[in-house]
Amino acid sequence: MLQGLDTAALPAARGPLSDAVITALRSEPDPGRTLAAPGPADPYGDDLQLALHVCYELHYRGFLDVAPEWEWNPGLIRLRSEVEGVFLDALHDDLPGRPGVGDVLDELLVEPVDGRGVSHHLLARGEWWQVRELFAHRSIYHLKEADPHAWVIPRLTGRAKAALVAVEFDEYGGGRGDRMHSQLFARLLAGAELETGYLRYLDHVPAVLLATVNLMSALALHRARRGALVGHFAATEITTAPNATRMAKALQRMSAHPDCVEFYTEHIEADAVHEQVMRHDVVGDLLAREPELTDSVVFGVRATELLEQRLSDHLLGAWEDGRSSLLRPL
């Protein structure tokens, strides 16, 4: 069993598929055991997304009382691959057409005409309880920020590899443990009087949030999807600075704890630089070397934006109705 890490307990199941995975993980791993999906599941639904997230988490910190050998158990890997295929097929179906790389990257910098977005809402008229909910949602990724993208490093070469490592170096605090972005987010949670434990809010967040995190792992764990993971990373870095600017102003308006503000101010200047590095030095060099990855990079960008838009619509829809966006309100 894993010791010495901030490791979470297994979450509660949300349907037959996630129940099958979680029940299996409570037993001893048998390499000859066959695991089968109980039946079809909604590719964007809670049951499938939680099952995927639990499978992926075995490659990160694992879970309390789950044997590490489950990480590469053949039966579980086969089941995960099947479920992962359902998710990615749905994304491909929802993203028809083949736009160019330059077009999709340029679109990331176009602000919505109606100013509709989570950071826009929080800056203009957001309330503190909504901010705390956003923090709980984002904790599922930000407490392991940069880890999924690190999988692509050994799969790149030349300038693309060196430039991506430079961006990751910043994400990991420039070599200072206390400045790692995951640590800054933990301090943000404490400043908002939320719990800082790893995956502490996993049982609270809905599928629409889990899908945004699962996409990273679905791309990161496969060398064949390295182009899409680079596209995802580029989309994330390009859109962070303007959103972080609005979030910092929103938090200052609400007189939030300085640690809450610092997480976003840290991202404003750094990610403005990262945007150019990712666009030209990483994506540009990668596609100059491997032009056949163009469609994969574009898919990574577009899938990221699709899932982030779904999350934004969910958050704003709930808040505009005056209700919690979480499965379990804080």
Tens of pLDDT, residues 154-208: 999 999 999 999 999 999 999 999 999 999 999 999 999 999 999 999 999 999 9
Pick the range with the lowest mean pLDDT from 57-61, 107-111, 127-131, 181-185. 107-111
The whole-angstrom separation of Cα 302 and Cα 305 is 5
Say if residue 41's pLDDT is above 90: yes
Q: Which two tokens stand for residue 20?
A: 């099958």
What is the per-residue pLDDT for 90? 98
What is the per-residue pLDDT for 3? 38
Q: What pLDDT band is residue 276 in, cutting at 50, 70 and 90?
A: confident
Domain boundaries defined on the chain: 16-93, 101-320
Question: Which residues contact residue 285 at a Cβ distance below 8 angstroms, ignoring those fewer than 6 apart?
Answer: 158, 159, 160, 163
The whole-angstrom separation of Cα 326 and Cα 330 is 8
Q: What pLDDT band is residue 18 in, cutting at 50, 70 and 90?
A: very high
Q: What pLDDT band is residue 213 in, cutting at 50, 70 and 90?
A: very high
The whole-angstrom separation of Cα 230 and Cα 104 is 13
The whole-angstrom separation of Cα 36 and Cα 82 is 9
Give the max Cα distance, the chain: 58
Mean pLDDT for 308-316 is 97
Pick the range with the lowest mean pLDDT from 105-119, 215-229, 233-247. 105-119
More confident residue, 270 or 82: 82
Give the side-chain half-sphere CA count within 13 A for 179: 12
What is the per-residue pLDDT for 5? 67
Q: Which two tokens stand for residue 323?
A: 């209700």
Mean pLDDT for 205-234 is 97
What is the per-residue pLDDT for 271? 67
- Indicate the average pLDDT of the chain: 94
More confident residue, 121 or 239: 121
The whole-angstrom separation of Cα 257 and Cα 89 is 42
What is the per-residue pLDDT for 109? 65
Helix (H, G, I), strand (E, B) or coil at 8: strand
What is the per-residue pLDDT for 2? 37
Point out which residues pair with 8 in neighbouring strands: 63
Question: Which residues contact residue 252 at a Cβ distance below 8 angstroms, ignoring those fewer than 6 apart?
Answer: 261
Say if residue 111's pLDDT is above 80: no
More confident residue, 3 or 110: 110
Say if residue 93's pLDDT is above 50: yes
Mean pLDDT for 56-77 is 97
Going by the DSSP 8-state scheme, the letter that residue 13 receives in this structure is: P
Say if residue 12's pLDDT is above 70: yes
The whole-angstrom separation of Cα 67 and Cα 272 is 42
Class of the CATH domain delimited by 101-320? mainly alpha
**CB 54, CB 15: distance < 8 Å:** no
Say if residue 1's pLDDT is above 80: no
Closest of 147, 169, 3, 17 to residue 82, by C-alpha: 17
